[in-house]
């Protein structure tokens, strides 16, 4: 599946606004206990006002009038006549203060929930993920995970990151990226927890990248992902190449990469030839990215003509991605794809 273009900014803002609205609804749940207290105080005040709220020489108020008086006293907005009974007087003096305390408690709880999302990160991430589609879930923010995050952001992807180590060396950088407006959302927690991956809406994600430093953790997370969203694309890092091949075949994981298998070709090739700047595995074959000069015979050709004549795919020209219509000039530096077995016979300048 080709990589989709990044989500338009307007769409992303609308999704964010919808998530913020849903989160505010969650924050309003903090009013349940204050509302229960307010209702209990109102009922108590109504009974006291009905029984002992008669003014000196006057009649006791009706139930409707007693309820209204108690309610307005809790809001601090009634200048009622002083009751003759001390119990009624106590209500008159204390209920405005009690109402302020109850309402202040509720508003403070709602405000803290709204503005301190970090304390409810799990809920906020679940709401945000459920308002999102086409995102990437990245598990693990070590060296490989962080470099993967950088590449995904450069490609315009929106990334939900799960990292178990709150003191990881890239945590602060990821938070700084988020604060700078980049589409990265960090959730601290163990991805093996039953509900954590599911909370990030994997069924609507574009892919799940599992890149922790522990093969067993990666396998457990992959199993959880497959159970939660069997159709999602899974890319998994494994250290053992044989295990990676078995996982790919047995579990149906789309890509399972052995770190050593990825790194070994470039290490070996770079040791033999300093012109090697990169490597790619295509099945069982290793293709090297080699930096060479331009021979006189190739000057004036376009990159497309150069490939058609030599069979060497031109990856970059002078450090920037090559275009088929670019013309080769004297002194240009080429980066070309070369099979590993042909490296020894590759001249320093291609003609």
Contact 272, 296 (CB under 8 A): no
Which residue has better confidence, 137 or 315?
137
Alpha helices, H only, the chain: 9-27, 32-52, 63-75, 86-115, 121-130, 143-154, 171-179, 196-199, 215-228, 241-251, 259-272, 303-310
In this predicted structure, what is the pLDDT of residue 199? 92
**pLDDT value at 154 more than 70:** yes
Domains of the chain in start order, with CATH, are: 30-115 (1.10.287), 120-258 (3.40.50.720), 273-350 (3.30.70.1450)
Which of 277, 238, 276, 274 has its CA nearest to residue 258? 238
**pLDDT band for position 269 (cuts 50, 70, 90):** low
* Out of 106-120, 180-194, 273-287, 294-308, least confident range: 273-287
**pLDDT value at 351 more than 60:** no
**pLDDT value at 256 more than 80:** no
- What's the pTM value of the predicted model, to 2 decimals? 0.66
In this predicted structure, what is the pLDDT of residue 303? 84
**pLDDT band for position 3 (cuts 50, 70, 90):** very low
In this predicted structure, what is the pLDDT of residue 163? 94
In this predicted structure, what is the pLDDT of residue 41? 93
Q: Please compute the mean of the pLDDT values over residues 313-341 and round it to a whole number.
A: 85
Chain segment 38-96, per-residue pLDDT in tens: 999 999 999 998 888 888 778 888 999 999 989 999 988 876 778 888 888 888 888 98
In this predicted structure, what is the pLDDT of residue 259? 61
Chain segment 96-150, per-residue pLDDT in tens: 899 999 999 999 999 888 888 878 888 888 898 988 888 999 999 988 889 889 9
Contact 96, 71 (CB under 8 A): no
> What does 123-189 look like in DSSP terms, one character per residue?
HHHHHHHHT--S-EEEE--SHHHHHHHHHHHHTT--EEEEES-TT-TTHHHHHHHHHTT-SEEEEES
Mean pLDDT for the chain overall: 84
Task: Provide the 10 A C-beta neighbour count for residue 193.
Answer: 15
Q: Please compute the mean of the pLDDT values over residues 147-161 and round it to a whole number.
A: 89
In this predicted structure, what is the pLDDT of residue 6? 59
């Amino acid at each position: 599946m080709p990589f989709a273009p990044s989500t338009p900014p307007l769409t992303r803002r609308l999704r964010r606004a919808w998530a913020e609205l849903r989160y505010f609804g969650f924050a309003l749940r903090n009013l349940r206990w204050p509302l229960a207290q307010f209702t209990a105080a109102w009922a108590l005040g109504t009974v006291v006002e009905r029984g002992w709220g008669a003014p000196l020489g006057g009649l006791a108020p009706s139930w409707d009038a007693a309820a209204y008086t108690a309610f307005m006293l809790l809001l601090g907005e009634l200048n009622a006549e002083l009751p003759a009974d001390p119990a009624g007087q106590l209500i008159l003096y204390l209920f405005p203060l009690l109402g302020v305390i109850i309402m202040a408690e509720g508003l403070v709880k709602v405000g803290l929930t709204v503005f301190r999302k970090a304390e409810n990160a799990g809920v906020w991430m679940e709401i945000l993920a459920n308002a999102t589609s086409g995102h990437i879930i990245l598990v693990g923010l070590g060296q490989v995970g962080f470099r993967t995050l950088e590449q995904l952001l450069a490609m315009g992807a929106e990334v939900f990151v799960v990292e178990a180590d709150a003191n990881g060396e890239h945590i602060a950088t990821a938070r700084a990226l988020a604060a700078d407006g980049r589409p990265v959302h960090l959730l601290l927690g163990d991805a093996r927890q039953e509900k954590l991956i599911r909370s990030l809406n994997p069924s609507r994600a574009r892919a799940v990248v599992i890149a922790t430093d522990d093969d067993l953790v990666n396998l457990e997370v992959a199993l959880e992902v497959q159970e939660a969203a069997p159709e999602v694309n899974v890319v998994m890092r494994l250290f053992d190449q044989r295990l990676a091949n078995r996982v790919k075949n047995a579990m149906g994981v789309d890509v399972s990469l052995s770190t050593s298998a990825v790194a070994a070709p470039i290490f070996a090739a770079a040791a033999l030839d300093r012109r090697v700047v990169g490597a790619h595995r295509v099945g069982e074959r290793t293709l090297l990215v080699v930096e060479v000069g331009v021979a006189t015979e190739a000057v004036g050709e376009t990159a497309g003509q150069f490939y058609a004549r030599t069979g060497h795919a031109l990856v970059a020209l002078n450090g920037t991605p090559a275009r088929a219509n670019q013309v080769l000039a004297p002194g240009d530096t080429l980066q070309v794809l070369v099979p590993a077995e042909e490296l020894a016979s590759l001249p320093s300048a291609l003609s």
